[in-house]
Structure 1
Amino acid sequence: MGIQNLLRFLKPFIEPVHIKKYSGKRVGIDAYSWLHKGAYSCSMELCLNAQTDAAKRYLKYFMHHINLLRHYNVTPVVVFDGGSIPCKSVTEHERHRRRESNLMLAKEKLKEGNASAAIEFFQKAVHITPSMAHQLIQILRSESVEFIVAPYEADAQLAYLSAFDDDQGSIAAVITEDSDLIAYGCKAVIFKMDRYGNGEEFLRDRVFNTVHGGLSFRNFDKELFTGMCVLAGCDFLPSIPGIGTKRAYSLVSKYKNLDRVLSTLKFERRYQMPEDYSESFWKTVAVFHHARIYDRETKALKPMKPLEQKHLQSLNGDLDLLGPELPPSIAAAIAEGHLNPVTMEAFNYLSTAESCSASVNSPTFDDIDQDETRVASTQESCITIFSANQANGEYVTGTIITCKTRRCTGRLLPLFQRILLWTQKNMRKKLLHLEN
């Protein structure tokens, strides 16, 4: 996950830190990073029966770390991953394949009675779903912990928040295990934070302004640094065989021009540079600079930074590579934790199409806050939402939403109506595409 071997390469610039250094400040949390670490302790339960109490231990792990930050007067800002970005589809497919393979091996080891080996494979097979993330969101909401669901990559959203001034709601640092935050240009990142608040701190200014053992980035600007990261290999684009972080640094440091680096790689016989690598390289650089994020002020999507002409040209006008555009109402519903960012279906307000009803249960992590709404038995004002998302080769065309209280209807009905209009329009486009 992240830039291959980047943290090891930058180790001379990374120093120990305790979270109390950020007392009185806002710190961003890469939610899926802690969710993954928490899931390791209950990976078998999550893979076999996610509804058991034992399978909820990842929530306790997460909230322990939230409370640790609050103990040291650090304000957590939790950012969740959203939908998949197009240029990451190959990586996501490969990860899914590996998880399925590890799950099969885990079950085989369990049948053989080898529990320790099974758990190792279960840990590699566990997958954090939007539903699991939403259970955490309900707790964060009840604890008044600030959160946001990114439209796509949480890394981009976190880097965007870190670029603000302090009086504009900036975050002073990000806690994560993903080195992509460095490529996105985040100014301060804390890696490997333990349960006591000890971690390893990367500071962008420290890297650009100091020299360690002949390793210097003083002649690098942000684009050269990001280009070096992309050359080393990332989730969006694998590296050219024979090019790692050290070689990428040497080339960029020598030529100080990314086009010249690409030309050198193209004509040197020892490197087998794919025909379309240069095009893919510039598209990936554009994503690291301009990925779409959610702007709370306008309640709409926008690029992290205004698009530069050269990056616009590298995308060939296909801005969906930065993350497909979404209507403001949909983007806001995702950001606020009301819509599943993958399926675009509403969380917790749904019942089956066959019965147009849902039972009211005692509040759990799966339930929505009582003050928001209750899903109840059949009402006259049922709302049908058509999802244009394809699942198992068929289109879902009858998800029913039922509201019981007047407050629910007043607050949620306009949102559902907007979603309905957008999803119907999207469905028509997809159906027309299939017919053609």
Structure 2
Amino acid sequence: MKNLFGRKVAIDASMCLYQYLIAVRQLDGQQLTNEDGETTSHLLGMFYRTIRMVENGLKPLYVFDGKPPVLKGGELEKRLLKREAANKQMEELKETGTVEELMKFEKRTVRASKEQNAEAKELLTLMGIPYVDAPSEAEAQCAELARSGKVFAAASEDMDTLCYEPKFLLRHLTVAEARKLPIDQIEYSEVLKGLNMDRLTFVDMCILLGCDYCETIKGVGPVTAFKLIKEHGSLDKIVEWIEKNPEKTKYKLPENWPYKEAKELFMNPEITKADDLDFKWSEPNTEGLVDFMVKQKGFNEERIRSGADKLKKGLKGGVQGRLDGFFTVVKLTPAKRKADEKDKKGGKKRGKK
């Protein structure tokens, strides 16, 4: 995380809240609650993980989901059915199941509510940490901010984020230390270069691999998806090939497959242009944090005040810029490096003359 010192990062808030609701638990495996029985796991996670980032010199900006695209309705309905099935299995396991078995099914039922999203926003405001409400998908808005240079990177566990063309994608940023994982920094241009694809072809392959907007073709995994894209050049041509040669291929297209609509959502997502967004980091409201986190939510006052002090110190320290902010960083290809070395040698010879 220290390698990201001085970086502004747009973080998918909905993904974070889900992670905290899953990971932040009491010793008996239950979510944290206050005396009134209200869940507070999301607040504890948001408070301390954000402080950890700020202490390491990062400037986090959280982005919250807006209204989901109509096309996502089918996926959301599937998730709802899975949650209902998991809830039913949990009830059956309460008498005979182990803590591990209960946790397995509870993970499938977790979803941040509107109230929990609102509480997270209130907490961030008191912490002096900015947030943005996306008009639709948070990861698309994060990518827009990263692509425009308003922030260094988009941070999300959702690999669909790459379809929206962020300059950099960070994975495991908010859970790296808790899970002892490295933070992955994925450079979008290097992804396309490594796959030898343009953005449209890459999006086609991602739809084949599976996304939130439509089903996949049964039997098509990563290796086959890459092979088909390389052979046919685009998803449209793959679909045409399958439809024209049903007897020559084992692949069957899903009925009324809306892959074109999915492609349009990735290529032209509903976002707020980065130039229309202004945000800043400010000093935390310590007394406001005490009132909200201690008096209303039941947290320890000493720890909340200590956290506020760390925020103040971290945000002041984060004012210092990165060295690469003062210079233009240029990547040298092997050919360019050889040419530069040749020029240097030529310069020395001319100097002697």
Q: Compute the TM-score of the two structures, normalised by the length of structure 2.
A: 0.70
In the alignment, does 2:65 pair up with 1:91?
no
Contact 1:30–1:80 (CA under 8 A) maintained in structure 2: yes
**One-letter code aligned to 1:231:** L
In the alignment, does 2:175 pair up with 1:190?
no
CA RMSD of aligned residues (A): 3.0
**Aligned-residue offset at 1:91:** 0.8
Equivalence for 1:429: none
Contact 2:42–2:120 (CA under 8 A) maintained in structure 1: no
In the alignment, does 2:154 pair up with 1:174?
yes
Contact 2:8–2:152 (CA under 8 A) maintained in structure 1: yes
Matching residue within 165, 168, 187 for 1:203: 187
**One-letter code aligned to 2:15:** S
In the alignment, does 2:292 pair up with 1:364?
yes
**Aligned-residue offset at 1:265:** 2.4
**One-letter code aligned to 2:186:** F
1:274-313 equivalence runs, <5 A: 274=254, 276-277=256-257, 280-295=258-273, 298=276
Contact 1:66–1:76 (CA under 8 A) maintained in structure 2: yes
Contact 1:79–1:147 (CA under 8 A) maintained in structure 2: yes
- Pair 1:285–1:49, CA change in 2 (3 A): farther
**Distance in 2 between residues matched to 1:99 and 1:48, nearest whole Å:** 21
Structure (1 or 2) with the greater helix fraction: 2
Q: What is the DSSP-based 3-state SS (H/G/I as helix, E as strand, rest coil) of the residue aligned with 1:242?
A: coil
**Distance in 2 between residues matched to 1:49 and 1:141, nearest whole Å:** 21
Q: Compute the TM-score of the two structures, normalised by the length of structure 1.
A: 0.57
Equivalence for 1:129: 113
**Distance in 1 between residues matched to 2:83 and 2:123, nearest whole Å:** 28
- Pair 1:232–1:119, CA change in 2 (3 A): closer
- Pair 1:237–1:250, CA change in 2 (3 A): same
- Pair 1:144–1:209, CA change in 2 (3 A): same
- Pair 1:209–1:38, CA change in 2 (3 A): same
**One-letter code aligned to 1:285:** K
Matching residue within 243, 247, 260 for 2:220: 243
**Distance in 2 between residues matched to 1:149 and 1:106, nearest whole Å:** 34
- Pair 1:242–1:83, CA change in 2 (3 A): same
Equivalence for 1:120: 104
Runs of 5+ unmatched residues, structure 1: 1-18, 211-216, 300-334, 336-361, 369-436
Q: What is the DSSP-based 3-state SS (H/G/I as helix, E as strand, rest coil) of the residue aligned with 2:40?
A: helix
Deviations 1:248-299 (A, max 9, x none): 211222232443222112223222124533xx11111100011111346558
Stretches of 4+ moved more than 6 A in 1?
47-50
In the alignment, does 2:253 pair up with 1:273?
yes
Matching residue within 19, 37, 43 for 1:37: 19
Larger Rg: 2
**Aligned-residue offset at 1:116:** 3.7
Runs of 5+ unmatched residues, structure 2: 280-289, 297-353
Length, aligned pairs only: 276
Q: What is the DSSP-based 3-state SS (H/G/I as helix, E as strand, rest coil) of the residue aligned with 2:271?
A: strand
- Of stretches 65-74 and 260-269 in structure 1, the one that deviates more from structure 2 is 260-269
**Distance in 2 between residues matched to 1:50 and 1:136, nearest whole Å:** 19
1:306-345 equivalence runs, <5 A: none
1:328-407 equivalence runs, <5 A: 363-364=291-292
Give percent identity, aligned residues only: 21
**One-letter code aligned to 1:103:** N
Structure (1 or 2) with the greater strand fraction: 1
In the alignment, does 2:10 pair up with 1:28?
yes
Greater RCO structure (CA 8 Å; 6+ sep): 2
Deviations 1:64-105 (A, max 9, x none): 221122112111010111222210111101111111221222
